[in-house]
Chain A
Amino acid sequence: MAMTTTAAKTAKAAWANEANDPSSPVVRFGLDKPLRLDAGTVLSPFQIAYQTYGELNEARSNAILICHALTGDQHVANRNPVTGKPGWWDVLIGPGKIIDTNRFFVICSNVVGGCLGSTGPASTNPATGKPYGLDLPVITIRDMVRAQVMLVDHFGIDRLFSVVGGSMGGMQVLEWAASYPERVFSALPIATGARHSSQNIAFHEVGRQAVMADPDWHGGKYFETGRRPEKGLAVARMAAHITYLSESALHRKFGRNLQDREALTFGFDADFQIESYLRHQGMSFVDRFDANSYLYMTRAMDYFDLAADHGGRLADAFTGTKTRFCLVSFTSDWLFPTEESRAIVHALNAAGASVSFVEIETDRGHDAFLLDEPELFAAIRGFLQSAARARGLDQP
Chain B
Amino acid sequence: MSVNVAHRVDLQVVADFIAPRAKVLDVGSGDGLLLELLQNDKQVDGRGVELSQRGVNECVSRGLSVIQGDADRDLVFYPDKGFDFVILSQTLQATRNPKLVLDELLRIGERAIVSFPNFGHWRVRFSLFFFGRMPVTRDLPYSWYDTPNIHFCTIRDFVALCDEVGAKVEKATALDANGQKIGFNMPWWFWNFFGQQAVFLLRR
User: Which residues of A pack against B, CB within 8 Å?
Assistant: 324, 326, 345-346, 349-352, 354-361, 375, 378-379, 381-383, 385-386, 389
Contact = CB atoms under 8 A, between A and B. Distances in A.
* Of listed B60, B66, B68, B74, residue having the most chain A CB within 10 A: B60
Nearest to A357: B67
Contact of A357 (B45, B63, B68): B68
A375 to B, nearest CB: 6
A386 B66 CA distance: 12
A381 B60 CA distance: 9
A257 B57 CA distance: 36
B65 A379 contact: no
Given A346-B74, A354-B45, A354-B47, A359 B61 contact: no
Contact of A383 (B53, B60, B67, B78): B60
B63 A389 contact: yes
Nearest to A381: B61
Contact of A379 (B47, B57, B69, B79): B57
A358 B56 contact: yes
Contact of B53 (A349, A351, A359, A381): A359
A382 B69 CA distance: 19
Contacts of A381: 61
Contact of B61 (A352, A354, A357, A378): A378
A381 B63 CA distance: 8
B77 A383 contact: no
A315 to B, nearest CB: 9
**5 pairs of A and B residues whose beta carbons are closest in the complex:** A386-B63, A382-B61, A357-B67, A378-B61, A346-B77
Nearest to A387: B63
A356 B64 contact: yes
27 contacts: A324-B65, A349-B78, A350-B77, A350-B78, A351-B79, A354-B65, A356-B64, A356-B65, A356-B66, A356-B67, A357-B56, A358-B53, A358-B56, A358-B57, A358-B68, A359-B68, A360-B57, A361-B53, A375-B57, A378-B60, A378-B61, A379-B61, A383-B60, A383-B63, A386-B64, A386-B65, A389-B63
Contacts, number: 66
Contacts of A389: 63
A389 B82 CA distance: 24
Contacts of A350: 77-79
Contacts of B59: 356
Given A357-B56, A358-B68, A352 B79 contact: yes
Contacts of B62: 382
A383 B45 CA distance: 15
A352 B82 contact: yes
Interface residues of B, number: 21
A326 B68 contact: no
A349 B68 contact: no
Contacts of A351: 79
Interface string B45-59: 101000001001101
Contacts of B74: 346, 349
Contact of A355 (B63, B65, B79, B82): B65
A326 B66 CA distance: 9
A378 B57 contact: yes
Contacts of A349: 67, 74, 77-78
Nearest to A385: B63
A351 B79 CA distance: 7
Contacts of B79: 350-352
A349 B62 CA distance: 20
A360 B62 CA distance: 16
A354 B45 CA distance: 9
B157 to A, nearest CB: 30
A358 B63 contact: no
B147 to A, nearest CB: 25
Contacts of B68: 357-359
Given A379-B60, A383-B60, 13 more contacts: A350-B79, A352-B82, A356-B60, A356-B64, A357-B67, A357-B69, A358-B57, A359-B53, A375-B61, A378-B61, A381-B61, A385-B63, A386-B63
A382 B31 CA distance: 14
Contacts of A355: 47, 65, 67
Contacts of A356: 56, 59-60, 64-67
Interface in B15-56: 45, 47, 53, 56
Contacts of B56: 356-359
A51 to B, nearest CB: 28
Contacts of B60: 326, 356, 358, 378-379, 382-383
